[in-house]
Structure formats: structure tokens, C-alpha cells
Amino acid sequence: MNVPIRMIGIATTFLWIFLVAFLASAVYSFKDLKFDFGLPQMSVTLDNKLLFSLNINIVNNGYYSMDSFNVTTEILDVDGFVVTRGLTFIPTIKKGENTTIFNNATFGVDDLLQINRNYLFDDSELRAAVYAGVRIAELIPVEVSTNLSLPWGAPFYNLIMGQPERVEFNETHFRIAMAISFENHAFFNLTGNVQAQMYSGAGLRVGDGHTVIEAPQHSFYHGYVDIYVPKIELTRGSRFEVYFLTPFFDYGPLVVPYG
């Protein structure tokens, strides 16, 4: 009876030695696993969404293959609210392999405006939280993470709606010109329409006007919206309601008192 017990004891000892050696080599192998995060890029998709893209170079010079490699990116606003997420998954990274993956996350300007409309008018920043996870030798999970700051330029920075100017158009109508100016600090070109509606003090809609805006990125825009209003309808307590319609977002009404 002693011989089998002794054999079991020896086998158990060798098993433990093998497990310890395996775990040690797997952990040691981690030092030869390198993650190189590239510079984040922001661009615009064909359907006018904003695209965050991050390339990650992975070098596996360890003893074992890496399995279930996954990268998750969260785009957050300044208050920590998650705007969108992007996920990339690679089943296996073989030992000795050098590969580059791209992790993308898309979101719309409207997604930001639902959280805070000030992103239209104030320069700010977004944050990208990147989490990467992998299993070494199909057994040991390893995770790394990093945070990136993304400057945000407001498309309607320093928006000014000028005091509407009234001029005589004909015997029955006034032409009212409303000046609009802003700086496009965004990384995308801004085009679209501005629509203005004028209401009398009694709440009746008495005139409409529109204009086209074209503001390349990092440029200053100045233009006018002309509205033709019957003289008889121009009363105290009138107001304008202004709407901005662009491929990226719609905003309005912006109320401008008059009279």
C-alpha cells in the first residue's frame, strides 16, 4: 500500500512543480507583451457622424499565444456621462506575432446635445477611456487601460444674434434684417440653413425668412436673415424664433425678442 501512496505523492509534487513553472512562465511572458497606443483621430463619416479612431500596436514576443483580446472605448463628456462605446475583438494573437488593430467609436453631435446643449456654443473637451483585456495561455487574464483627452471645438462659438434692423420695403411691408455671426471652432465644416419666423405680440406668425450658412472649420461666419413683415402686423412684444438646420444637428428655436 505504501508504494502507490508514495507514487501518488511524487506525481502530485511533479504536478505542482509543473503548474508553478507554467504559471511563472506565463506571468513572465507578460513582460514581452507590448501595447503601443497611437494618437487618437477624429473624423466625419459619410452619414455625418463623428468617428473616434485609435490604433493599437500589439507585439507578442512571449512564450504563449494570447486569446480573447478585446478593446473597449468609452467616449465621455466632462461630467462623466457615456456618449458612446466602441468594441473590437480578436480571438487569438499568436506568439511572435506583431499586429495592429483599430478601435472605432461613432456618435452624433445630437448625442452630445441631448446631454448638454452648451457643446454648441462653448469650447470644451471629451474624454476617451480605453480598456484592453487579454488571456495569456488561455488561462491568465490581463487588463490595461488608459485615458485620453479630446479637445472639443464649438461649432457656434460666440454666437451673436444682432439687433434686427427695420427698413422700408414698400408701402405695405418692412424688411427686417437680422445679423448672425459665430466662429466655427469644430473640426468639421459647417453648412446648412437658418430659418427665422417672426411672431406678433399676439402670438400670430407674421413673417418667415431663411439663409444658407457655409462656415469651414476654424472660420468666422457673418450673414443676415431677411424677413418681410406687413406693417400692420408689427406690434409691441414681437419675437423671432430662429432654427439652425445642418447635416450634423438641428437646433432651435432660439428666441430673439423684438420691440
Q: How far is CA 200 from CA 118, 173, 205, 239, in A?
A: 29, 14, 6, 7
Q: Would you state the pLDDT for residue 136?
A: 63
Q: Would you state the pLDDT for residue 63?
A: 66
The pLDDT tens digits for 92-149 are 878 777 888 889 999 999 989 888 999 999 999 999 998 887 766 565 677 778 888 9
Q: Give, in words, the CATH class of 157-258.
A: mainly beta
Q: Would you state the pLDDT for residue 25?
A: 47
User: Where does the pLDDT of residue 22 fall: very low under 50, low under 70, confident under 90, or very high at 90 and above?
Assistant: very low
Can you tell me the mean pLDDT for 78-84? Answer: 91
Q: Judge whether 31-152 and 157-258 match in fold.
A: yes
Q: Which of 64, 63, 85, 67 is nearest to 76 (CA)?
A: 85
Domain limits of the chain? 31-152, 157-258
Element (H, E) at 198: strand 190-199
The pLDDT tens digits for 85-94 are 999 988 887 8
Q: What CATH superfamily classification does 31-152 receive?
A: Immunoglobulins (2.60.40.10)
- 5: pLDDT strictly greater than 60: no
Q: What is the DSSP letter of 49?
A: -
Alpha-carbon distance of 241 to 200, in angstroms, equals: 11
**Is the alpha carbon torsion for 13, 18, 21, 27 positive or negative?**
negative
Q: Would you state the pLDDT for residue 4?
A: 57
The pLDDT tens digits for 182-238 are 999 999 999 999 999 999 988 999 999 999 999 999 999 999 999 999 988 887 888
